[in-house]
Amino acid sequence: MTVAWDYTHLEFTITDHYFFSVLQGECAKEGIQVDEVRDWRKLREYEVIVFNYPERPFTDREVEEVAQLVEEGGKRVILLGYYKNEDGVADACNSLAARFGLHLNPDVVLDEGSNHRGDPYFVVTSRVLRFSRGVGRVLLPCTSSVGLIPGRGEPLIEAEPTARSDKDFPPILAASYRSRASGGEFILFGTCVFWSNHSINLYDNRELALNLLRTPDPEG
């Protein structure tokens, strides 16, 4: 498997030792090649493309090129944001995600009933609908909710019934668009830190992270 970890839109990089060295090491153990990519033209060479907390919006040309990679190239593209539109990251994400019928809401999902160590911002859920091999419960800290257009996008991870959005959006934590033509996929997450060094070894976050970066989806 080959993964392009993009750095053309000022993302947090896989080589950031403080945040992602554990994920980088786990990928190496599993034979998943992850390269930091600074040249947009090289993204098409990889099977999976990750945009992890982009702070720069995508241009119309870039959006159409990503759509082509998904619709014709069969690529898996993973876009990850953060809660409350911090640093304008939801706006940056939505400049791309809207092309696939998905968007990040400018909210935060809180869960008083299912969380990590009593912190409602550290949402824990068992409702992982795909990429779920070896996954029971996962932790998604400081997450926004993900909106979708029915018939285009579909939920990928949902919060437990005890969760709520502070702006009353449905508490969908990740969603996807799948191309019927090519099998390519666009995935949008409400948080970029579920696979950070501070979260990846909690619950089944490691298994979820590796499932997302493997091709094909181990659950089909």
70, exposed or middle or buried, with CB in 10 Å at 0-12, 13-18, 19+? buried
pLDDT at 86: 87
Share of the chain above pLDDT 90, in %: 91
**Three-state SS at 190:** coil
pLDDT at 217: 62
Q: Which two tokens stand for residue 139?
A: 């932790």
Q: Which two tokens stand for residue 207?
A: 């298994």
Give the residue extent of every domain in the chain.
Answer: 2-106+143-158+172-213
Q: Which two tokens stand for residue 75?
A: 């690529």
pLDDT tens by residue, 163-216 = 999 999 999 999 999 999 999 999 999 999 999 999 999 999 999 999 999 966
- Asked if residue 191 lies in contact with residue 144, where contact means CB atoms within 8 angstroms, the answer is yes
Q: Where are the beta strands (DSSP E) in 57-213?
A: 76-80, 102-104, 109-111, 115-116, 119-125, 127-128, 138-141, 146-148, 153-158, 163-165, 172-178, 185-189
The whole model's pTM is what?
A: 0.96
169, exposed or middle or buried, with CB in 10 Å at 0-12, 13-18, 19+? middle
Angle, helix 17-29 to helix 205-213, in steps of 10 degrees:
70
pLDDT at 103: 97
For the segment 97-125, the average pLDDT, to the nearest whole number, is: 98
Range with the lowest mean pLDDT among 15-24, 59-68, 114-123, 159-168? 15-24
The residues near 133 (Cβ < 8 Å, ≥ 6 apart) are: 207, 211, 218, 219
pLDDT at 216: 67
Share of the chain above pLDDT 70, in %: 97
pLDDT at 151: 87
**Three-state SS at 73:** coil
3-state helix, strand, coil in the chain (%, to 5): 25, 30, 45
pLDDT at 10: 80
Q: Which residues share a beta bridge with 178?
A: 185
Residue 101 has pLDDT above 60, yes or no: yes
For the segment 142-151, the average pLDDT, to the nearest whole number, is: 95
pLDDT at 189: 98
Residue of 190, 198, 176, 172 lying closest to 93 (CA atoms): 190
Residue 218 has pLDDT above 70, yes or no: no
pLDDT at 220: 46
Is CATH 3.40.50.880 correct for 2-106+143-158+172-213? yes
- Asked if residue 2 lies in contact with residue 47, where contact means CB atoms within 8 angstroms, the answer is yes
pLDDT at 219: 56
Q: Which two tokens stand for residue 22?
A: 């554990």
